[in-house]
Chains A and B, each alone.
Chain A
Amino acid sequence: MEFDSCFDIIGPIMVGPSSSHTAGVVSIGKFVHDWLGEVADVTITFYGSLASTYQGHGSDKAILGGLLGLSAHDINVRSAYALAKDKGLRYDFQFCTDIPGGCHPNTVHLQASSSTENVHASGASIGGGVAYIYKINGHHTSINLGTGAEISSIAARTKKEAPFR
């Protein structure tokens, strides 16, 4: 069953306004943050529904917040632009209202680097705060970032697995 816990129904605790366009998007950004340790530079590409409605849903603040290491329930997501400036995070947004073939309407692609390494990751926020990472550095994968997921341990574990080692 997709929904099993009482907290799948009463939860997540999250910054509004949308579980799919805000909460799930934070998780995708946080996965890349936790993969790199710290993000210095990033190009963010929003596709489909995220490209057309990101502003009203705060998806831009959500992805930056995640890339700065914030969680979906952290109210500081709202101040992500100011935080990015404080921390010297260099970012560039790209928008494409078309949806890449076979992809979910809420897809985001991240090209990020720390001072020592790079990562290219693609994710989709599928609703209810649940997100997936489906491609890392050109390799297809399927990593569930559920509402109760410990993203830092998932990122650390995935990094040790083939073909990402």
Chain B
Amino acid sequence: MKDTIESIVQECMAQDVSIGEWMLRREVDRSGSSREQIFGRMQERLHVMKQAVRDGLSDITETESRLSGGDACRMHQYNQNTAPLSGPVISTAMTAAMATSESNAKMGLIVATPTAGSAGILPGVMVSLQDNRGVDDDTLTMGLFAASAIGYVFANHAFISGAAGGCQAEIGSATAMAAGTITELQQGTPEQAAHATAMAMKSLLGLVCDPVAGLVEVPCVKRNVIGTSIAFSAADMALAGITSRIPCDEVIQTMHTIGRDMPGSLKETAEGGLAQTPTGKEAARRLYQRPCTL
């Protein structure tokens, strides 16, 4: 029997533990490794995420394709010189997400969360909560366990790759994981975290995977950035006591159904969507002028 968001929330309430704690205990049981070893492995991932943000911010070069690069630095400058309309929490997260995704596009070291294409959202949220709310590394690490519990349900009941389910499966899953995680880190209940997860996912249902020239750059980088603001909006709603009228597991099931029905041209093949705009096609033509040699 596969775990559902509902079953995890019920177990958390019965045992009076957080979703993160539930996932950590589950990993101890399944792996046979000690709690300290597993916690350490997750904390190592947090440190890689934070380093990826620093790397991305200090590198203003463009990628080989010239489709991305340098925007995290622009965003950072803007945050320093003005009071961003989105406020410090979201604007910091946007900058950190952009830095990570730009770093990823340049073959920097990142953590797939849950994939490389959606690797900016969780680190963006983590860095912002630390910078603006003083959340320490150990607490953030527990947040990553919560994120992995949510992602684990998405991965086993729907999909987490754009090739399988469209962008809703990548940016959608990552944003939903981040929304639930923020809620938990802000002392929301497991039930509230589930509502935040559902509300974030609902706002991204149907999003297609249409990368220009097949690269993880356009529109991926900016979707990571905007994913952070959706995650914070969904978490704020849940913390205000607002619920998703459709239960989280039904939303996840819906994502699966939509992904299954989505045409192949909109699932990471670069045969549809933004990839097939005149500008998108020109970018691809510029990059790939290689005849088959066999």
Which A residues have a C-beta under 8 Å from some C-beta of B? 1-20, 22-23, 45, 49, 51-53, 55-58, 61, 73, 75, 77-78, 94-98, 127-129
Which B residues have a C-beta under 8 Å from some C-beta of A? 2, 23-24, 26-27, 30-31, 38, 41-42, 44-45, 48, 63-65, 103-117, 119, 122, 144-145, 147-149, 151-152, 155-156, 160-161, 163-164, 177, 213-217, 287-288, 290, 292-294
Give the docked Cα–Cα distance between A1 and B229 (Å).
32
Instruction: Point out the residues of chain B lying under 8 angstroms from A95, CB to CB.
Output: 290, 292-294
Instruction: Point out the residues of chain B lying under 8 angstroms from A13, CB to CB.
Output: 44-45, 48, 109-111
- Ranked nearest first, the 10 interchain pairs of A and B with the lowest CB-CB distance are A16-B104, A9-B151, A6-B148, A3-B155, A96-B294, A9-B148, A56-B215, A53-B214, A17-B216, A19-B116
B104 in contact with A9 (CB, 8 Å): no
Q: Min CB distance, B24 to chain A, in Å?
A: 8
- A and B contact pairs by CB, cutoff 8 A, 28 listed: A4-B30, A6-B144, A6-B149, A9-B177, A10-B112, A10-B144, A11-B112, A12-B111, A13-B110, A14-B112, A16-B105, A16-B116, A17-B117, A18-B216, A19-B112, A19-B117, A23-B116, A53-B214, A55-B64, A56-B64, A56-B65, A57-B216, A75-B108, A78-B107, A94-B293, A96-B293, A96-B294, A128-B114
Which among B42, B145, B214 has the greatest number of chain A C-beta atoms within 10 A?
A: B214
Give the docked Cα–Cα distance between A155 and B23 (Å).
32
> Of all chain B residues, which has the CB nearest A53?
B214
Which among B38, B106, B148 has the greatest number of chain A C-beta atoms within 10 A?
A: B148
> Of all chain B residues, which has the CB nearest A16?
B104
Which among B2, B41, B42 has the greatest number of chain A C-beta atoms within 10 A?
A: B41
Instruction: Point out the residues of chain B lying under 8 angstroms from A128, CB to CB.
Output: 112, 114-115, 160-161
Give the docked Cα–Cα distance between A125 and B214 (Å).
16
Q: Min CB distance, B122 to chain A, in Å?
A: 8
Assess A16 versus B106: contact at CB under 8 Å? Given A6-B23, A9-B148, A10-B144: yes
Q: A53-B213, A56-B217 are in contact. List 11 more A-B contacts (CB 8 A).
A: A1-B2, A4-B30, A6-B144, A6-B145, A7-B41, A10-B42, A10-B45, A14-B116, A16-B103, A19-B112, A51-B292
Instruction: Point out the residues of chain A lying under 8 angstroms from B215, CB to CB.
Output: 17, 53, 56-57
Instruction: Point out the residues of chain A lying under 8 angstroms from B293, CB to CB.
Output: 94-96
B109 in contact with A14 (CB, 8 Å): yes
Assess A94 versus B294: contact at CB under 8 Å? Given A127-B164, A128-B160: yes
Give the docked Cα–Cα distance between A129 and B161 (Å).
11
B161 in contact with A127 (CB, 8 Å): yes
Instruction: Point out the residues of chain B lying under 8 angstroms from A56, CB to CB.
Output: 63-65, 213-215, 217, 287
Instruction: Point out the residues of chain B lying under 8 angstroms from A11, CB to CB.
Output: 45, 111-112
A55 in contact with B108 (CB, 8 Å): no
